[in-house]
Amino acid sequence: MKWNRFTLKTKTEAEDAVICTLADVGIEGVEIEDKKPLTEEDKAQMFVDIMPEGPADDGIAYLNFYLDEDADKEDILKKVYAALDELKEYMDIGDATIEESQTEDKDWINNWKQYFHQFYVDDILIVPSWEEVKAEDQDKMILHIDPGTAFGTGMHETTQLVIRQLKKYVTFDTEMLDVGTGSGILGIVALKLGAKHVLGTDLDPCAVPAVAENKEANHIKDETFDMMIGNIIDDKEVQDKAGYEKYDIVTANILADVLVPLTPVVVHQMKKGAYYITSGILDVKEDVVKQAVEAAGLTVVEITHQGEWVAITARKDS
């Protein structure tokens, strides 16, 4: 099958908003071409500490999306342009021009699915939407998670490290704060383990629909998992909305360089006796994060490893 490729020219600072706008009209799987250097938040999502120098950012981004030959492209493009016009009222998205070309015979939307199959994290089975649960697995704890625009499928060692800690510390009274929630996988695991309520925070607006979709796929009651967009490290409004001395568990599966400034802030959201479960830490950064945790007044109770990654679990004693 041949595919029509559409390349939308925009500004690098607007690409996240444009991608979310495309998703709102049903277009997913967008490719990004830009020269924008990675931010610390980007590195946190990718678990990359060091990147080579790239070309200077020219402020331009090209977003590619694909429609098959049978799609009503005129109707879809009409919706895209209307959505972009609406977005232009709120921000500068640059030219927002779209050029059309044609790909070779490749299923650009679905080929990647061959690389993601159901798998276990200990006794928890994680299944993508295009695979069936086997009869012998029906009695297992099952998570339905699809890879998407927000990070977190459970395949990465750092996510697995946090899941194992949640199995130890979640109770039926648990109020949990998940910083950098991404796909919502950690919050969903906690709720399936019996937690009472989860609040997720993230910098990426695409996390909101990703969490909503995964909540629905896993039959999670809407009122048990709330989402908030914003930076809890330096945004007082986010801190206030999250609340203080409120949470039994705080999880943060983020790059070590983000955990260091996060820890002395988020400790104020924790109840006395609460657990702080961190991961996304390369083994070479273990001591740096451990020192930050202890400097914030927390007691380290356990350090676990998987491959080159580390999870540090600490408790707030006072």
Element (H, E) at 255: none
Distance between CA atoms of 80 and 6, rounded to whole angstroms? 11
Looking at residue 264, its pLDDT comes to: 97
- Sheet of 270-282: strands edge to edge? 225-229, 197-202, 175-179, 247-253, 270-282, 309-315, 299-306
Tens of pLDDT, residue by residue over 179-220, are 999 889 999 999 999 999 999 999 888 888 889 989 999 999
Looking at residue 114, its pLDDT comes to: 66
| DSSP for residue 57 | P
Tens of pLDDT, residue by residue over 46-60, are 443 434 444 456 789
pLDDT band at 44 (very low <50, low <70, confident <90, very high): very low
Distance between CA atoms of 287 and 306, rounded to whole angstroms? 16
* pTM confidence score: 0.67
Looking at residue 180, its pLDDT comes to: 93
